[in-house]
Structures are given as C-alpha cells and as structure tokens.
Amino acid sequence: MLRILLADGDDASRDRLRRLLDRNLDWRVCGEASTGREAVELALRLSPHVAILDLALPEMNGLEALRRIKRVRPDTEILVLTVHETEDLIRDLLTAGAQACLVKAEAAEHIAAAVDALAEHRPYLTPSVAHAVLDVFLAYGEAGKPSTRPFRVLTAREREILQLLAEGRSNSAISDVLAISVKTVETHRATIMKKLGVSSLAELVRYAIRNRVIDEM
C-alpha cells in the first residue's frame, strides 16, 4: 500500500485531491496537513512514500517544507503543486529535491500519472513544467548556477519569519508559533529587512509576493 501525505491550506482543494487519489485502491492518504509546519511534523511521524505539497502553504511554504522533509525523510518522494511555473521557482524546487511539479490547474489530469512515477522513484514533469526546466538548462548550462535572488541569503529561520510576517502575523504571534521570544523575533525581523534592503513591513510583504513566498491576497 502506497502511503501518501497530502498538504494543502485550502480545505476544498485538499478534499478534491484526496478524492482523486482515493480512486486507486493501492494508495492510502495516511495524513493531511493544512500548513507547511504540520506537513513536516506528519512526514517525520508517518514516513509517507509520497508527499504532495501545495507551494502556497501557510506558516511554512511548500518549498521550505520540501527542504525540511527531505532532511528528515530523504526517501519520501515529493510532488509540489503550484499556480506558477517560473524558471527560478522550478529550479529551486528541483534543487531542493522535488521529483514532480504540477501546475494546480493541471492536477486532475496528471496527478495519477505523477504519483505512479514517484512510486517507482521516477521524476514526472508536465510539458509546461518541462519547458520551464529546458529554459533553465539553456540559460545556465548543465552545471547550473546558484540562484541569485536575495531570498537565498536568508537562513531557514529567517525564511520562516519572513513568511509569517508577510502573512500578517504580529511579533507576538510569531513568537508563539515558533516558541521563541518576542525579542528574538524582532532581531530576526531587523536582520531580514537589512539583508533584503527594505525599510518597511509593506515593502517586505511586496517582496514576499514578488518572490512567491506567499500568494497575493
């Protein structure tokens, strides 16, 4: 029985995906998460064969959750669902360890084939995503280059806090979510703004939207 972890912040979207997966009697959705943080916790506890992550997960986005799941469960194959398919994004997802990327609008058409491929430890890319991968290859060459986006200069903790700030969480709320002091949150916030060259929370939110840390509200 193939165990699948499903993570999507939207209940209706998660329900649609689960119904698609339930059509295969050899697959079982062993856990469902509504945040990236919960997805990582469930992956550690349940050891799924496949994890399906929406990129726009709250609290911790799909890319960050992907990185952490691959650290704690390297054998779990990961499929990421995204609304966008920019070259930088696809490059970051594949570099972080995703074996499949689907545009959400194409999920119903491709998800069964994608999970089948991951169950056999084979990558799966739709034609549109494969085209973006080819563009990256042509732009950077086979050896590739590291991404030059400023977001990459942030630590994992700073990326967490950036997302929570961009989601509208207060310093106190972030302190509760991450179990750190408010003073530590304030220190991280100041460091993030300095590294990214922004001077206000509004600029920080715009940066997060522009770089797909969160979706535009």
* Chain segment 71-106, per-residue pLDDT in tens: 999 999 999 998 877 777 888 888 889 999 898 888
**H or E stretch covering 102:** strand 100-103
75 shares a domain with 168: no
Mean pLDDT of 36-54: 96
Mean pLDDT of 29-54: 96
- Specify the CATH number for the domain of residue 154: 1.10.10.10
- 198 confidence band (pLDDT: 50, 70, 90): confident
For residues 105 and 135, membership in a common domain is answered with yes
This prediction has a pTM of 0.74
Does residue 184 sit within a domain? yes
Q: How confident is the model at residue 148 (pLDDT cuts 50, 70, 90)?
A: very low
Q: Kindly report the backbone phi and psi dihedral angles of residue 24, in degrees, each rounded to the nearest multiple of 5, phi listed first.
A: -95, 115
How many domains would you assign to the chain? 2
Of 77 and 207, the structure prediction assigns the larger pLDDT to 77
Q: Which tops the pLDDT comparison, 110 or 139?
A: 110
Q: Which of 20, 69, 34, 22 is nearest to 49 (CA)?
A: 69
**What is the mean pLDDT of the segment spanning 123-132?**
76
125 and 154 within one domain: no
Question: Is the pLDDT at 179 greater than 70, yes or no?
Answer: yes
Higher pLDDT, 11 or 147: 11
**Residue 31 shares a structural domain with residue 126:** yes
Residue 179 lies in a domain: yes
Which of 140, 160, 187 lies at the terminal end of a domain, its last residue?
140
At residue 132, the pLDDT reads 62
pLDDT at 215 over 70: no
Residues 6 or more apart whose CB falls under 8 angstroms from that of 140 comprise 91
Mean pLDDT of 150-174: 83
**108 and 203 share one domain:** no
Domain co-membership, 58 together with 106: yes
Q: How confident is the model at residue 163 (pLDDT cuts 50, 70, 90)?
A: confident
- In a domain, residue 187? The reply is yes
Taking CA atoms, 159 is separated from 45, 50, 78, 163, in Å, by 24, 25, 20, 6
Percent of the chain with pLDDT over 70: 87
Whether residues 93 and 41 fall in one domain: yes
Task: Please state, for a pLDDT cut of 90, what percent of the chain lies above it.
Answer: 47
Range of the domain at 174: 150-210
- The reported pLDDT for the residue numbered 146 is 47
CATH of the domain at 114: 3.40.50.2300
Of the three residues 87, 121, 140, the one that is the final residue of a domain is 140
Q: Is residue 215 part of a domain?
A: no
Report whether pLDDT(216) > 60. no
Domain final residue pick, 109, 140, 171: 140
Burial environment of residue 153 by CB neighbours within 10 A (0 to 12, 13 to 18, 19 or more): exposed
Give the model's pLDDT for residue 147. 47
162 shares its domain with 88: no
